[in-house]
Amino acid sequence: MDVKEYIASGILELYVAGVLSPEENLEVQHFALQYPEIQDEIEAIEKAVMELTKTASPKLPENGFSKIKAEIEDVIPFTPEAAPKKGPTPWSSYLGWAASILLAVGLFWMYTENSKLKSEIELSNQENQGLQEILTNTQEEITFKENLLQQIRDKNVTVIALGGQAVSPTSYAKAYWNKDENKVIIDAQGLPEPPDGFTYQVWSLKLDPLTPTSIGLLSDFTSIDTKLFTLDNVNESEAFGITLEPEGGSESPTLEQLYTLGAVGS
């Protein structure tokens, strides 16, 4: 066999490109074992293709060429009829195959980079959305607190200090009562967390005779950081008291569980 003519035929470039039939691949491998010049030429072609690949796409992984060949074969499955025939092949054909390989490499790199960019954009959008939600919640909380401060500082508000009672001497609270708006803001910062199954209930009191009227519950006590609660109060209150009651509240106060009490004007 004329080794130089076999090398010049172009079949080795097609072998490296992976487009020969199984029979032709075996033939090339057989000759490569038999003739060191053929094996050297195969290695030189593979090295040249990898150098071109690295130049076109420096970020492509080492096994990227094999992946591209597999992708191409998935899209354009090999058939023996489509395999190039043996014989002299003009250099334009070699350049065509090299260009096709480089194009596939470039497309694969662009696809990989595009996928990475999309993932980064999506992650950035999610982070921005999370920050926007935090900002919105913070602004709402600030607005809520500012409104409460304005109500507490209103010139028509009467402030009633509620001192601790026998069941909890260290407890304390404040009632900010706006008679014109029939509203009471209870500052319950000085009350302990209620046990499970219980809640605090606020009472408007007439003192003579003692007549308690419920004006509401301090619901969601644990989750409200400010411990400020706004309740309606249409009563002519002479005092305010806070008792610990079973969840849902009671029709009348449990005096044994009276935590704080304070008289208006005291």
- Which amino acid is located at 97 in the chain? W
- 6: number of Cβ within 10 Å: 18
Q: Choose among 101, 77, 66: nearest CA to 21.
A: 77
Region 77-96 average pLDDT = 48
Say yes or no to pLDDT of 263 above 90.
yes
Helix ranges (DSSP H) in the chain:
3-8, 11-17, 22-34, 36-56, 64-75, 91-152
Question: CA-CA distance, 233 to 182, in Å (whole number)?
Answer: 5
Residues 238/207, Cβ–Cβ less than 8 Å = yes
The per-residue pLDDT for 133 is: 79
Largest CA-CA distance found in the chain, in angstroms, rounded: 126
Which fold, 157-263? Immunoglobulin-like (2.60.40)
53-67, 148-162, 248-262 — which one is most confidently predicted on average?
A: 248-262
Say yes or no to pLDDT of 80 above 50.
no
What would the pLDDT profile of 136-168 be if each residue is shown by its tens digit?
Answer: 777 777 776 677 777 776 778 899 999 999 999
Residues 65/106, Cβ–Cβ less than 8 Å = no
The per-residue pLDDT for 4 is: 86
φ and ψ of 215, to 5 deg: -115, 5
Region 169-178 average pLDDT = 95
The per-residue pLDDT for 250 is: 96
Secondary structure percentages of the chain, helix, strand, coil, to 5: 50, 25, 30
What would the pLDDT profile of 215-240 be if each residue is shown by its tens digit?
Answer: 999 999 999 888 999 999 999 999 99
Say yes or no to pLDDT of 130 above 90.
no
112 or 119: whose pLDDT is higher? Answer: 119
pLDDT category, 47, cuts 50, 70, 90?
confident
Question: CA-CA distance, 102 to 64, in Å (whole number)?
Answer: 12
Residues 218/188, Cβ–Cβ less than 8 Å = yes
Region 120-142 average pLDDT = 76
pLDDT category, 75, cuts 50, 70, 90?
very low
Question: CA-CA distance, 255 to 248, in Å (whole number)?
Answer: 17
What would the pLDDT profile of 175-216 be if each residue is shown by its tens digit?
Answer: 999 998 899 999 999 999 999 999 999 999 998 899 999 999
What letter would DSSP give residue 62?
T
* Burial of 243 (C-beta count, 10 Å sphere; 0-12/13-18/19+): buried
pLDDT, the chain, mean:
79
Question: CA-CA distance, 148 to 183, in Å (whole number)?
Answer: 12
φ and ψ of 201, to 5 deg: -125, 135
The per-residue pLDDT for 139 is: 73
The per-residue pLDDT for 83 is: 45
Say yes or no to pLDDT of 78 above 60.
no
Edge-first strand order for the sheet with 258-263 is 210-217, 198-207, 239-246, 258-263, 157-165, 168-178, 183-187, 228-232
The per-residue pLDDT for 256 is: 95
* CATH 2.60.40, the chain: domain bounds: 157-263
Say yes or no to pLDDT of 120 above 90.
no
The per-residue pLDDT for 264 is: 92
The per-residue pLDDT for 45 is: 83
* DSSP letters for 118-159: HHHHHHHHHHHHHHHHHHHHHHHHHHHHHHHHHHHT-TTEEE
The pair of three-digit structure tokens given for residue 213, joined into one six-digit string: 């009227």
The per-residue pLDDT for 88 is: 47
Q: Choose among 227, 138, 243: nearest CA to 176.
A: 227
Residues 176/151, Cβ–Cβ less than 8 Å = yes
